[in-house]
Structure 1
């Protein structure tokens, strides 16, 4: 049996009570496949190792269903099993490692002295939450300002939860600094951590933020939700960055890197104000972000969702299905409609097998993966077969492999699917929060 933390596959996004029931609202804007001239980013931070964490985003999304300048760049790295992308963040002058997630919106850190709980809310030692540090101590920051009578509150689909205080501090990522960023400080955590990261950097829309009026998390809901600007939205508002877009390039790790237990550096870039510094081809498209409508009748943006024209693989006949698709750095795999997943996985040689207990397609580690593409805005983007076979260590230490494209549920109009790291390894995604569009650029093969 594959370890629970590995099968979770980094599905991190959470849903707020405000957005508990939303439905897709199709944009009328046309995609553009004309060449897009994006400037180099003035702020760039490298991404390091991906680390395994328990699953929450897939369930959270199901809860939502039915309802030219220079730039700054940070490198990305990864650690144990290369299952989650991390980077460095400085808060109040103190450095931490945090998860990079385009599928959620809050920036949060564990606070020093936090209480740790099991998933059934039983108190357990703090070490069992497996944060990468003792946490952030706001008393040691000269720039920290408390936000009284509020609370930070995220509940995850697998039983994990984080609650705590709220404040403002100076936050720097990849040289880009926001001087008054609202952050969550986790004082109570049921968290199956990775021993490396101490928090998360959420880059999605304000509609997914998780701060509430009042100090009692048990009373939180849509009526006391206090939406706020996530980090990059604050940077644009403070005019700390010239261009209102950020860009992500995720590198795939090697088979050896994915099965080691060390931190793997240089796994890509998070770039602010321009395109991430990797080679791309002339194949690109700019498509509108798809909005959603809440049950109260208000509409807006939450995730970075796009429409997929068709799924392309042997025998597919360029199959079109209903449902919107999220581009999400916080999810390792692609989660596609049930029938697409079944047909695609049958094309492995030998075919993948579906384990109902694990809700997962397993493949032979030496299998031949079929070709696979997603057509977005009339442009076909191909996933390298290397991204379709993912190795993990089972409970006995043996290497087992799963398919990079899994079952995300039935193809229904209000369902939300995911193009995760399996897809994103092959493109550069540039998110424009002013125009509410995404430019997808094909990467040069690597």
Structure 2
């Protein structure tokens, strides 16, 4: 049965007083809330951000998570009225929304797999993959930020982050940041003056836990190590700290119309169907205390799939932990799970040497696939299992949405495109409901 957003609107009106943000619960110590609250109610909110089209380069892959985890383990043991921002993203390979810095507005990649918020600055030095300076034409990106931080630049610290093979560095400062109609005053953000970055956006809006922030002491990035990073209050943490929202946000991509939303403090006006799966965010896996997890890591029960040549259903009942990451397009799965799925394409997927990924003819038939979380099966659309916009120029084949991987495993946009996903930091819980 389809759950109507109209019904949710009535419910939201009825419980408005009950879910109003209470500053005494959050101001001054948002980190102290992690795992300390009951789950926030999934009521309709008008604090929405509309999504835009961008295709991530293949280099933007899960190796960025591995580097972050290893480093931190070593050191720790278009806007509309009513505050709505939409996600415009027909191909659903990445989620982008408009974000305003002071009085300048930019398209920024929304990334639940990293914490920092940054923009490329006018005159930034484009770098090659080996770190050498190259012409800026080698970094095809969006419009660049002009000027300085309106709240002033921070002294004697630097910003330095890696994303797969991409890397950026620059300076930290303070700026008023507006997204989804919410203005976060004097938030700590970064302006990038050196980058190896080839995505057609202006920067990145980080939504992961603050344990992944990339501030380092001094101004010499060559001295940045895995043990001297500095945690700081991210834009979303400060949004909660200022009493602007409950400690939750949700993604609801749509394939047509508005193309979906990022919502703060509740859920957007979309239709869902079937039961909701609520599962805890795993924190002990990375040897991190409950108050400082890194990624949105959850347990996957199993994978159910149907071969494209027959109607036989198969189940791979091998539980594994996976990061829910809006900044990764595909499903990075254990080889024991991914390989049977790749063989179930018609014709079966083959490994492309040039790009180092599995590929199929662009007119291939994808198998029926469902991911089981919290006892609920979530079907994956065939459109998310073959990337029609990622065509290998040598083979002419399309990249598959499923790829075998080593840990950490990733549930990227190929999964998130099919569900309403709620990130509840207060309860250290994630909730999923199938989109109608």
Into which bin does the TM-score normalised by the smaller protein fall?
A: 0.7 to 0.9
- Is the aligned partner of 1:59 residue 2:66? no
- Provide the residue aligned with 2:123 in structure 1: 113
Alignment counterpart, residue 345 of structure 2, candidates 334, 343, 348: 348
- Is the aligned partner of 1:407 residue 2:404? yes
The Cα of 1:111 is off from its aligned counterpart by 1.8
Mean Cα deviation higher: 112-121 or 273-282 = 112-121
The Cα of 1:82 is off from its aligned counterpart by 5.6
Q: Distance in 1 between matches of 2:289 and 2:352?
A: 40
- Provide the residue aligned with 2:318 in structure 1: 321
The Cα of 1:353 is off from its aligned counterpart by 1.9
Alignment counterpart, residue 164 of structure 1, candidates 166, 170, 174: 170
- Provide the residue aligned with 1:238 in structure 2: 242
CA contact (8 A) 2:50 2:261 kept: yes
Mean Cα deviation higher: 271-280 or 114-123 = 114-123
Alignment counterpart, residue 134 of structure 2, candidates 120, 124, 134: 124
The Cα of 1:369 is off from its aligned counterpart by 1.6
The Cα of 1:150 is off from its aligned counterpart by 0.7
Change beyond 3 A, Cα 1:275–1:434? same
The Cα of 1:344 is off from its aligned counterpart by 0.8
How big is each residue's C-alpha offset from its partner over 1:200-242, in whole Å with a ceiling of 9 and x where there is no partner? 001010001111121111111244311112221111111012x
Matches within 5 A, 1:9-48: 38-48=42-52
Secondary structure (helix, strand or coil) at the match of 2:397 reads strand
CA RMSD of aligned residues (A): 2.9
- Is the aligned partner of 1:186 residue 2:192? yes
Q: Distance in 2 between matches of 1:57 and 1:281?
A: 31
Mean Cα deviation higher: 164-173 or 149-158 = 149-158
Q: Distance in 1 between matches of 2:324 and 2:56?
A: 19
Matches within 5 A, 1:220-235: 220-235=224-239
Q: Distance in 2 between matches of 1:396 and 1:282?
A: 41
How big is each residue's C-alpha offset from its partner over 1:342-385, in whole Å with a ceiling of 9 and x where there is no partner? 10111122222223453322122222221111111111111122
CA contact (8 A) 2:301 2:319 kept: no
Q: Distance in 2 between matches of 1:313 and 1:395?
A: 26
- Provide the residue aligned with 1:17 in structure 2: none
Which structure 1 residue ranges, 5 or more long, are not aligned?
1-27, 254-264, 410-414
Mean Cα deviation higher: 337-346 or 358-367 = 358-367
CA contact (8 A) 1:48 1:268 kept: no
Matches within 5 A, 1:10-409: 38-63=42-67, 73-78=84-89, 83-138=93-148, 141=150, 144-158=151-165, 160-194=166-200, 197-241=201-245, 243-252=246-255, 266-292=258-284, 300-314=292-306, 317-321=314-318, 323-392=320-389, 394=391, 400-409=397-406
Q: Distance in 2 between matches of 1:400 and 1:212?
A: 42
- Provide the residue aligned with 1:24 in structure 2: none
How big is each residue's C-alpha offset from its partner over 1:9-30, in whole Å with a ceiling of 9 and x where there is no partner? xxxxxxxxxxxxxxxxxxx99x
- Provide the residue aligned with 1:14 in structure 2: none
CA contact (8 A) 1:73 1:276 kept: no
The Cα of 1:399 is off from its aligned counterpart by 5.8
Q: Distance in 1 between matches of 2:67 and 2:230?
A: 21
Give TM-score scaled by structure 2 length: 0.81
Aligned residues: 387
Which structure 2 residue ranges, 5 or more long, are not aligned?
1-34, 74-81, 307-311
How big is each residue's C-alpha offset from its partner over 1:382-417, in whole Å with a ceiling of 9 and x where there is no partner? 1122321221364759963222111123xxxxx321
CA contact (8 A) 2:274 2:434 kept: yes
The Cα of 1:37 is off from its aligned counterpart by 5.2
Change beyond 3 A, Cα 1:359–1:115? closer
How big is each residue's C-alpha offset from its partner over 1:123-147, in whole Å with a ceiling of 9 and x where there is no partner? 22234322212324216x3xx2221
Secondary structure (helix, strand or coil) at the match of 1:439 reads strand
